[in-house]
Amino acid sequence: MRRRAFIKKILMGVQTLLLMRFFHPAVVLAAIGKMENHQLHYKPLNGRSLRDIALKKEHHGNGVFINPIGPLRKRKFLQLLKWKFSPSQFSPYLKDQSVHPIVINWSPIQAHQGVSVTFLKHAGVLIKDVDRYLMVDPMFSDLTWFIDDFSPFIFNPKQIPKPDHVLITHGHYDHLDKPSLSTLDKATHVITPLGHHRVFQDLKMKNRTQLDWYDTYRNGDQSITFMPGNHWTMRNPFRGPNRSLWGGYMIETSVGHTIYIMGDSGYFDGFSEIGRDYDIDLVVINLGAYEPRWFMASSHINPREAVQAFKELNAKKMMIVHWGTFRLGDEPIHFPPRDLKKELEKEGLSDRMVDIKHGETFFLN
């Protein structure tokens, strides 16, 4: 009933705004027609280091977290309206989207005695480190009734090997999915950014480790470090954004391979520093929901920027997730790998891409 009342309240508010013409497309576009800009969508480090920023807790505010590497000008609500009311150049290509159900052959993964990365769904991956499994941002079903699911599981998620650790990058609903987490054992160890107390209290998942930027969780000869990112998070619009932290993970495996889970992030000028600090074998980049650029650049990296970040990280290989499941931006769900290949070819880096689809696995050794 509480949810129903909330939806009713929102709909009534929208109706009121429509009557007042605040939502009329002509009004919106006229009000912000000059908002197009070409300024940086991040705050330059200007000689500062990410580690110093983390050490000085510059990302900690009064009851909220602050993005010290984020855009100088925040996105406004009117910009959201402009996006929703503007025509999209990608509309003619949406008819080419198709559903690709996911099935996974677990036998070679379980038999492999090294390190592997399986692309599960959306931004979810399963990393096998010899005899231990790490699951990142599990998403097993659909997101919501009004967003199509183009990569449904056609197997029971309980067939997935039991994870030793679940890693959550941030609190947006397509990354911190309560229905998916509820299918896991309550005793599963979960590693999260700071915050999210209520979510895991509701799930009765008490075995949780919270990490700040550059905090490290160690499990024998395996280490997991929480990394900064140019993003934000929100679960409850009435409480506002950034009540919890966001970021990615640097996973140093027991056999010496290093995997960087970037998480959702806009481009920023800290990737070179990360590349100097870590010898990265594989970077997993969230590439999706990057159009329109004027709206998405401060939150999501695009194919050209992904290649730039890859070069600055000096990583050996790259693979992409966050595409092919939910269309959360203007670009069709199948565009990210296509566009990335074009950008890699321009730089002579085509052989550095791990070109796998949902349900497929990359074996690092």
Phi-psi region for residue 362, left (φ > 0), alpha (ψ -120 to 50) or beta? beta
pLDDT surpasses 50 at 73: yes
- For β-strands 189-193 and 165-167, DSSP reports them as parallel
Segment 2-24 shows an average pLDDT of 39
Segment 182-209 shows an average pLDDT of 98
pLDDT surpasses 90 at 30: no
Instruction: Decide: 246 and 170 in contact? Cβ < 8 Å.
Output: yes
Q: What percentage of the chain has pLDDT greater than the value 90?
A: 79
* 3.60.15.10, 3.40.190.10, 3.40.50.720, 3.50.30.30: CATH of 107-363: 3.60.15.10
- The partner residues of 191 in beta bridges, in order of sequence, read 167, 209
What value, to the nearest 5°, has the Cα angle with vertex 216 and ends 211 and 217? 85
Segment 280-309 shows an average pLDDT of 97
DSSP letter (8 states) at residue 166: E
CA distances from 18 to 8, 10, 12, 81 (A): 15, 12, 10, 12
CA nearest to 278, candidates 250, 302, 238: 250
pTM: 0.88
Alpha-carbon span 212 to 57, nearest angstrom: 9
pLDDT surpasses 60 at 35: no
What's residue 74's pLDDT?
Answer: 59
What's residue 12's pLDDT?
Answer: 38
What's residue 83's pLDDT?
Answer: 66
Segment 133-155 shows an average pLDDT of 96
